[in-house]
Structure 1
Amino acid sequence: MITHRERQADLRAASICGAIILLIAIVALLGMTIGAVTLGIKDLLAAIGGGKNAFIVMHYRAPRVAVSILAGLSFGLAGVLLQGALRNPLASPDVVGITKCAGLGAFLAGLLTPPAWTVWSTPLGVFAGGLLGAAALLSIGRRFGGGITALALTGVALGMLAQALMQYIMVLHPSRADQSMVWLAGSVYGSSGTDVLGLFLWLLICLPAVVIASFRLDAGGFGDDTLTSIGMSPRALRGGLILVSVLLCAGAVAAVGSMGFLGLLAPHAARLLVGSRARHLVPASALIGALALSSADLIGRVIALPNEIPAGIIAAVIGGPYLVFLLIKEAGKHD
């Protein structure tokens, strides 16, 4: 039976999620109207109807806004599931190396295949890199006992190794370095309707796994002994959460490149707003991730007109100091 306190918590979470959706809509509207060519609401409606400026809106700004929302949602979900799996509030796909392994896979795919093949070779490279990185994370982590600390430290080491390999390959092949650096920084520039459709379909495919993982996310907060006592396998639970996180992260990285800190920021902001219950935390993290990436892209577009700053750089400028703050906060708890 639902208690009065739970009902109030549900209502509060629903209200906050509704407010975030409204903010996303406002940012999306600004993203459709603001840029090198500023459009009014009437101009925007006319463009959507096929009138003047239709090409700018429908083939440039609308796909870009949609991809930023979908990719941000993916990073937010990936972050909250990974933090639940590792029971570590500092964990995120980029911190434990998953996005860097995915980026390495994409870089190698682009380097080893002809330019005409990059449309399909890059996404395959992203998925292969992300999955291999997760497999290495679980395999090496288990050799050190499979504990939370072992998995987190193993992920950090894998990320550093993947980053070093990418830099080494760039030195060997400098002609590919400039193009690769833009992608690895993270950007939604040049997104198309195909990118929107592909990422939407991928999220739709992952939806059943996300729902199942969300129901089990609260259990991830228990210790291994407690999980074993109630008949759940800690390795299966945490491995499943990590796998779903990798799938979500790989889809987003394939669409927008390696975005840092979104998977860290979104769950933390969601916990402050709606608490740590999975049924509130998961949708709030997804929405905050969407709001963060779409806002970062909007800021990057208008802050240095007529030039653009990749959204990944804007996210890193905000997320880097926040990570330092969290590290200091966590260190203070153990003093």
Structure 2
Amino acid sequence: MSGLRIELGPLGARLRPRVALAATGLALLAFAGLVASVSLGTYAIPVPDVLGALLGTGSGDADLIVRELRLPRALTALLVGTAFGVAGAVYQAVTRNPLASPDLIGISAGAGAGAVGAILVGGATAAGAGSFGAVPFGALAGALATAAVIYLLAYRGGTVTGYRFVLVGIAANGALAALTRWMLAKADIDQASRAMVWLTGSVNGRGYEHVRWAGLALLVLVPLTLALARPYQLLQFDDDTARGLGIPLHRARIGLLVLATCLAALATAAAGPVAFIALGAPQIARRLAGTAGVPLVLSGLTGAALLLLADLAGRLVFSPVELPVGIITGAVGAPYLLLLLARANRSGQGG
């Protein structure tokens, strides 16, 4: 089956049944994870009572737990996972390398260094409602500066190869991690402790201010990314093919990378540098869809489902001890990264 052709203004897409089925399944999985995150915990709340709390007709305890504690945490996980999934898809598609992920090539590390600087210099706390506003700006500045340096260092002979981009990014990742450790070593012990908890990657204690920031990032940046759907698709071919089809290669690549960097930075500001989601979600989505390229929307849905389920596992599996979501995703991501490296070496992309 060739699929259904959908036209929306100047944009067009062919919706394949397998892609539609995968999108539906992932959306349902993310919704189930959201409901479970709000319902389950040390104090379990039945789903009807959750709905009552959301509608304002529940009991006082249920209202407090659902609306003030669990719902903003679950929404933050949903939005952050979506942002990381889309950002990872753009990086992997534009560089044509499955290892090009914001958390691996230094973008998340740059966002982390900028956010830690905001926390230490401005006295902000990652989870504090009154001081969180400084963190996204620090993270955004750090991520954009890092992406610019990586791109300039990887740019040779009028183009940027995915292999060179990843190598430069890994080097930048190490340098930025060292910078962050140096800032923590120089900081006051209380501020350093707050920053260390944030650097682990967690959605615990997140409030509606985090939901607003992450939601605003998606509301603005995802439509802009989708507007570049044609360059996104064509950049996954070789440069000569993309150029021959009329794509302004340099501008399209920079535009997409800037949007992906902003998504990764604001997601990092909300939840810390959570590992694996941006790396794994696009490749999982590609296998579910059965496409040669990296599907953008499916990557976002996969990221949302993965982060929600990882946070739920961190809360419940070792209860009453609660593990930050970054530990769960890192534990899953390490063997997955080794698998990707092995596949890249077999295909000649690993150097």
- Quote the offset at 1:222 in angstroms: 2.2
Q: CA RMSD in A?
A: 2.0
Q: What is the aligned partner in structure 1 of residue 7 from structure 2?
A: none
State which drifts further: 305-314 or 45-54.
45-54
Say if 2:243 is the partner of 1:237.
no
Cα distance between partner residues in 2 of 1:174 and 1:146? 44
Give the length in aligned residue pairs.
331
* SS of alignment partner, residue 209 of structure 2: helix
Cα distance between partner residues in 1 of 2:324 and 2:238? 40
Match of 1:63 among 72, 75, 84: 72
Q: Which runs of 5+ in 2 are unaligned?
A: 5-13
Say if 2:31 is the partner of 1:25.
yes
Q: What is the aligned partner in structure 2 of residue 214 from structure 1?
A: 229
- Quote the offset at 1:210 in angstroms: 1.3
- Quote the offset at 1:91 in angstroms: 1.1
Cα distance between partner residues in 2 of 1:217 and 1:141? 20
Say if 2:141 is the partner of 1:128.
yes
State which drifts further: 225-234 or 251-260.
225-234
Output aligned runs, 1:144-293, within 5 Å.
146-148=159-161, 149-173=163-187, 175=189, 176-276=191-291, 281-293=295-307
Cα distance between partner residues in 2 of 1:214 and 1:182? 37
Structure 1's 236 and 41: CA in aligned 2 closer, same or farther, altered over 3 A?
same
Cα distance between partner residues in 2 of 1:115 and 1:155? 28
Match of 2:17 among 11, 14, 38: 11
* SS of alignment partner, residue 5 of structure 1: coil
- Quote the offset at 1:174 in angstroms: 5.6
Structure 1's 230 and 23: CA in aligned 2 closer, same or farther, altered over 3 A?
closer
State which drifts further: 20-29 or 227-236.
227-236
Q: Does structure 2 retain, via aligned residues, the 8 Å contact 1:301–1:307?
A: yes
Q: Which amino acid aligns with 2:329?
A: A
Q: What is the aligned partner in structure 2 of residue 51 from structure 1?
A: 58
State which drifts further: 152-161 or 268-277.
268-277
State which drifts further: 40-49 or 17-26.
40-49
Match of 1:298 among 312, 319, 327: 312
Match of 1:98 among 104, 107, 114: 107
Q: Which amino acid aligns with 2:251?
A: A
- Quote the offset at 1:46 in angstroms: 3.1
- Quote the offset at 1:283 in angstroms: 1.3
Cα distance between partner residues in 1 of 2:176 and 2:48? 48
Cα distance between partner residues in 2 of 1:42 and 1:233? 53
- Quote the offset at 1:66 in angstroms: 0.8
Q: Does structure 1 retain, via aligned residues, the 8 Å contact 2:114–2:141?
A: yes
Structure 1's 56 and 216: CA in aligned 2 closer, same or farther, altered over 3 A?
same
Say if 2:57 is the partner of 1:42.
no
Structure 1's 284 and 218: CA in aligned 2 closer, same or farther, altered over 3 A?
same
Q: What is the aligned partner in structure 1 of residue 339 from structure 2?
A: 325
Cα distance between partner residues in 1 of 2:337 and 2:29? 24
Q: Which runs of 5+ in 1 are unaligned?
A: none
Structure 1's 88 and 169: CA in aligned 2 closer, same or farther, altered over 3 A?
same
TM-score with structure 1 setting the length: 0.93
State which drifts further: 289-298 or 218-227.
218-227
Cα distance between partner residues in 1 of 2:132 and 2:249? 38
Q: What is the aligned partner in structure 2 of residue 76 from structure 1?
A: 85
Match of 2:321 among 307, 327, 335: 307
- Quote the offset at 1:115 in angstroms: 4.0
Q: What is the aligned partner in structure 2 of residue 86 from structure 1?
A: 95
Cα distance between partner residues in 1 of 2:157 and 2:165? 8
- Quote the offset at 1:273 in angstroms: 0.9
Cα distance between partner residues in 1 of 2:122 and 2:213? 21
- Quote the offset at 1:277 in angstroms: 6.0
* SS of alignment partner, residue 133 of structure 2: helix
CA deviation string 1:54-74 (max 9, x = no partner) = 000000111111110111000
CA deviation string 1:166-207 (max 9, x = no partner) = 112222226133221211111111111222122212211113
Q: Does structure 2 retain, via aligned residues, the 8 Å contact 1:72–1:289?
A: yes
Structure 1's 21 and 324: CA in aligned 2 closer, same or farther, altered over 3 A?
same
- Quote the offset at 1:308 in angstroms: 1.2
- Quote the offset at 1:44 in angstroms: 2.0
* SS of alignment partner, residue 101 of structure 2: coil
Q: Which amino acid aligns with 1:104?
A: A
Q: Which amino acid aligns with 1:81?
A: V
- Quote the offset at 1:230 in angstroms: 3.3
Q: Does structure 2 retain, via aligned residues, the 8 Å contact 1:206–1:248?
A: yes
More helix by share: 1
Q: Which amino acid aligns with 1:120?
A: G
- Quote the offset at 1:143 in angstroms: 5.1
